């Protein structure tokens, strides 16, 4: 009954904080051996899965509503309802006409269905891509430690924690060593808090203040621990907080741009539609027809396919990036990814191979010494924290050079690594009972805790002169691009079980290790490629200046001035922002400094990406516009990232940035081309309405014209961008869309008006034998049908072909051609619209059959239009330095 109660009530953290380990085992029916496979299933049944509710998929009916209820589809639905009432319900039985409302219904269905399909595909693609990035935890089951996905954790699991781990659930600690946890995601605390297993807490002011409890959503900064899971999923503190949060994420600049663009179109509709209604109402006298026509004009200004085009582009971009080794966790990050103009990167593993080799193990005289290697091995082998590449290199080198079977020690204690001390210690005991504390770490920090030095087996005082001698040798190695750490030891240190950082004193420096982390073969090429594509690279590393300088020289950054982290400590934000802007290589930075520099670069107006894979990179990754990590990174780094690289290679990153720019370019191509052509068409309608004795185009004709054009636009996500477009970062500027509409839109109006004049004064009178006012009512109806057909076809040709003209700053069809898919689909759209007046369907739309002489005039008109668009386009580019 007790277990069942835990599943139905809020987790009682006070109760768990005061329980003994034995009592915890009894509560969850487990032991120090961990759960068995049968117990795991039982625990999952009783306590639930380790999944947060807000991560569940959006219900399908909500996706349907989101797809069909947009500002643009609402306009269409409103027009459809009015058309249904005025043409399908109010007229007498023999005069009812559902054709208009049917066309509008088709437009709504096409727009909404395509958006829905792409939205569902988007969610599935995002989930599939996320599944490629695994966040795991180490648990003890069936008396064996296993690495399992976080979602498979159950109450009662024994979880092992090390530096860099995400806390996978709410856990009561049963053992801990120098454990520091960052709870900022839950509490907003700036600094890590220490957690202990042996404190039996009483009532606390908040759950997170219990010393022996750690919570999902936080992460291990340093130290190690083991604990038992007391709450999972929705029953965790994190899950409880998540329930009270809005599911709507903070809007990115891309989403804000889409929203601003939507309102821009709505403003134009609000201005144009009433104007058209008033003009046609007064000039034609039929206010109902004028009202329907005005609504059609509003629809004509509506880019109904905008949601679908955006979603299709993002999904296509993300899946394309995945093929090139770039996983997009958040689809809306694609635009920011392509907009990056400053890439901040850690040095180790990004510029370098991430394969450290132990080159030398030297005594303090600078001679090779296996004793130094043996001590370093004991330190790396017996530590239980996060084994980094240095530890791996030491262990591999020792296995190759020494017989490790003869190194017989047992571990007594350890003091884990942290980023403030920059060292770690273990205490070991040999077979004779002698204990040693062995410490390794950065040379400066090792010299601080050492009072003695071992020269050729003689322990002497560590004088200032000896320190200078050691530092000279280290300096020589650093200049060769080698990273050096010191090794010190102390025999028979203080009482077993009471070790702390205070014991790291009065030690004997016995030597140092020199490591080589060579640059990747592609790094120099990749940095040049990023530079060519308008992305500046800044190196933000915790490593020292000499090693960093050596690596930078090898990868083409040799002339850079290096800024030291200590020089930044007392600077004001304004000064630091100026330095962050001016310099590209920063060394000896702590995680907070990396984060600060990244934030200030954003405040300076840059779109910043941060590429990192370590615990100390996570704050900066969250501060960046785009956090970029790798699949082999520590959990907290992967969780902080928007983008995951499946290979830690800057060339892969460059490909991802270019894919992001292409995705954004295709979106802007649709928005700007559609906005300008729709605006031009409706501007033409406004002018024509002022002097024509009839409507320049019927509402249904406008709707069907829009439908054909929109279907043609479905091909845009499969188009390519010019190479020149991809060379520079692109940012969303909603204001540029309005300028584009005003500049390029009226170019089509020029030829719309010439088409009006041609059809009204030349072609229609020639076919029917007289001007409009001299004809009979039947002839006037034929006159209007031919006129409508002429402008319908010309409008479709110009609107569709201008897509090809505006997709590139170059001369369309000659210097730059659209993709095969785009060319085929837009051609099919033109053919469909051209043949329409010759069909019964076209007749039902009110279109007449066009005479032969019309086609020559059409070719001349379109050719002249494309020339004018190309000229205006060049003037626009000269003025605003961009097209899309």
Question: Is 517 among the catalytic positions?
Answer: no
Strands (E), 447-506: 450-455, 458-461, 482-491
Q: What are residue 388's phi and psi, to 5 degrees?
A: -90, -175
Residue found under tokens 């906005």? 675
- DSSP per-residue letters across 658-694: HHHHHHHHHHHHHHHHHHHHHHHHHHHHHHHHHH-SS
Burial (0-12, 13-18, 19+ Cβ within 10 Å), 878: exposed
Q: Nearest-CA neighbor of 165 among 226, 83, 79?
A: 226
Report the C-alpha gap between 437 and 510 in whole angstroms: 12
Residue found under tokens 């002839």? 779
**Six-digit token pair at 186?**
């839950």
| Number of Cα atoms under 13 Å in the Cβ half of residue 636 | 29
Report the C-alpha gap between 583 and 562 in whole angstroms: 8
**Six-digit token pair at 520?**
């990747």
Apex 310 CA angle, 308 and 313, nearest 5: 105
Q: How far is CA 419 from CA 192, 223, 347, 423, 743, in A?
A: 12, 11, 16, 8, 57
State the catalytic residue, choosing from 165, 170, 346, 649: 346
SS (H, E, C) 819-856: CHHHHHHHHHHHHHHHHHHHCHHHHHHCCCCCCCHHHH
Q: How far is CA 594 from CA 126, 417, 492, 538, 760, in A?
A: 29, 20, 40, 11, 69
DSSP state of 432: T
Q: What are residue 805's phi and psi, to 5 degrees?
A: -75, -35
3-state SS assignment for residue 440: strand
Q: Is 196 left (phi over 0), alpha (psi -120 to 50) or beta?
A: beta
The catalytic residues are 346
């Amino acid at each position: 009954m007790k277990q069942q109660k835990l599943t139905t009530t809020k987790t009682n953290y006070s109760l768990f904080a005061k329980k003994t380990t034995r009592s915890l085992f009894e509560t969850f029916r487990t032991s120090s051996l961990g759960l068995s496979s049968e117990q795991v299933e039982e625990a999952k049944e009783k306590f639930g899965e380790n999944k947060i509710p807000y991560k569940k998929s959006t219900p399908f009916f909500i996706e349907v509503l989101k797809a069909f209820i947009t500002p643009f589809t609402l306009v269409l639905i409103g027009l459809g309802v009015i058309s249904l009432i005025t043409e399908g319900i109010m007229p007498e039985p023999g005069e009812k006409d559902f054709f208009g409302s049917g066309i509008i219904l088709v437009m709504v269905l096409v727009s909404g269905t395509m958006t829905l399909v792409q939205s569902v595909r988007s969610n599935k693609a995002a989930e599939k891509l996320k599944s490629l990035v695994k966040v795991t935890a180490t648990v003890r089951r069936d008396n064996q430690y296993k690495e399992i996905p976080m979602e498979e954790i159950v109450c009662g699991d024994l979880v092992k924690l090390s530096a860099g781990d995400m806390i996978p659930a709410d856990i009561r600690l049963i053992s801990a060593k120098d454990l520091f946890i960052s709870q900022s995601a839950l509490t907003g605390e700036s600094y890590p808090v220490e957690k202990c297993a042996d404190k039996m807490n009483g009532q606390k002011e908040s759950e997170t203040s219990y010393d022996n409890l750690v919570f999902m959503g936080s992460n291990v900064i340093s130290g190690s621990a083991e604990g038992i899971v007391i709450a999972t999923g929705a029953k965790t503190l994190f899950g409880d907080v998540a329930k009270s949060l809005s599911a709507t994420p903070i809007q990115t600049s891309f989403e804000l741009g889409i929203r601003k663009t939507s309102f821009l179109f709505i403003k134009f509709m609000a201005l144009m539609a009433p104007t058209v209604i008033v003009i046609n109402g007064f000039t034609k006298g039929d206010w109902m027809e004028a009202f329907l026509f005005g609504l059609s004009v509003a629809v004509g200004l509506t880019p109904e396919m905008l949601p679908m085009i955006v979603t299709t582009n993002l999904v296509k971009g993300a899946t394309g990036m995945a093929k090139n080794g770039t996983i997009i966790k958040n689809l809306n990050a694609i635009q920011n990814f392509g907009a990056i103009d400053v890439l901040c990167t850690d040095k180790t593993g990004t510029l370098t191979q991430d394969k450290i080799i132990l080159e030398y193990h030297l005594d303090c005289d600078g001679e090779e010494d296996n004793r130094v290697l043996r001590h370093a091995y004991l330190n790396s082998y017996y530590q239980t924290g996060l084994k980094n590449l240095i530890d791996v290199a030491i262990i591999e080198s020792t296995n190759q050079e020494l017989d490790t079977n003869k190194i017989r020690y047992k571990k007594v204690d350890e003091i884990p690594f942290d980023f403030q001390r920059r060292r770690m210690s273990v205490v070991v005991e040999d077979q004779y009972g002698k204990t040693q504390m062995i410490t390794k770490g950065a040379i400066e920090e090792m010299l601080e805790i050492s009072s003695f030095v071992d020269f050729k087996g003689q322990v002497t005082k560590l004088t200032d002169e000896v320190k200078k001698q050691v530092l000279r040798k280290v300096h020589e190695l650093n200049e060769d691009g080698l990273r050096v750490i010191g090794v010190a030891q102390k025999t028979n240190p203080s009482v077993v079980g009471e070790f702390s950082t205070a014991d790291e004193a009065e030690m004997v420096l016995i030597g140092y290790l020199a490591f080589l982390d060579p640059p990747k073969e592609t790094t120099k090429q990749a940095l040049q490629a990023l530079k060519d594509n308008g992305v500046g690279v800044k190196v933000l590393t915790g490593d020292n200046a000499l090693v960093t300088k050596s690596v930078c020289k090898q990868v083409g950054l040799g002339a850079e001035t290096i800024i030291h982290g200590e020089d930044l400590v007392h600077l004001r934000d304004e000064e630091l922002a100026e330095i962050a802007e001016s310099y590209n290589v920063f060394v000896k930075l702590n995680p907070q400094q990396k984060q600060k520099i990244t934030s200030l670069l954003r405040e300076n107006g840059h779109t910043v990406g941060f590429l990192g894979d370590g615990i100390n990179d996570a704050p900066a990754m969250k501060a960046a516009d785009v956090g970029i990590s790798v699949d082999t990174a520590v959990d907290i780094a992967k969780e902080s990232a928007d983008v995951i690289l499946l290979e830690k290679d800057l060339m892969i990153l460059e490909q991802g940035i270019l894919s992001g720019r292409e995705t954004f370019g295709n979106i802007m191509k649709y928005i700007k081309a559609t906005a300008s052509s729709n605006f031009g068409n409706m501007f033409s309608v406004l002018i024509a309405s002022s002097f024509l004795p009839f409507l320049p185009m019927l509402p249904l004709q406008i709707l069907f014209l829009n439908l054909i054009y929109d279907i043609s636009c479905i091909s845009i996500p499969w188009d390519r961008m010019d190479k020149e477009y991809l060379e520079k970062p692109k940012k969303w500027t909603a204001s540029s869309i309005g300028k584009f509409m005003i500049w390029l839109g009226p170019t089509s109006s020029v030829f719309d008006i010439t088409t009006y004049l041609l059809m009204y004064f030349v072609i229609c009178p020639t076919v029917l034998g007289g001007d409009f006012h001299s004809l009979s009512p039947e002839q006037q109806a034929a006159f209007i049908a031919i006129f409508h057909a002429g402008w319908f076809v010309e409008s479709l040709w110009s609107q569709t072909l201008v897509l090809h003209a505006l997709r590139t700053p170059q001369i369309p069809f000659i210097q730059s051609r659209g993709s095969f898919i785009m060319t085929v689909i837009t051609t099919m759209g033109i053919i469909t619209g051209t043949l329409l007046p010759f069909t019964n369907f076209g007749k039902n739309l009110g279109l007449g059959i066009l005479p032969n002489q019309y086609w020559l005039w059409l070719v001349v008109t379109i050719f002249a239009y494309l020339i004018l668009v190309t000229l205006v386009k060049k003037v626009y580019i000269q003025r605003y330095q961009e097209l899309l």
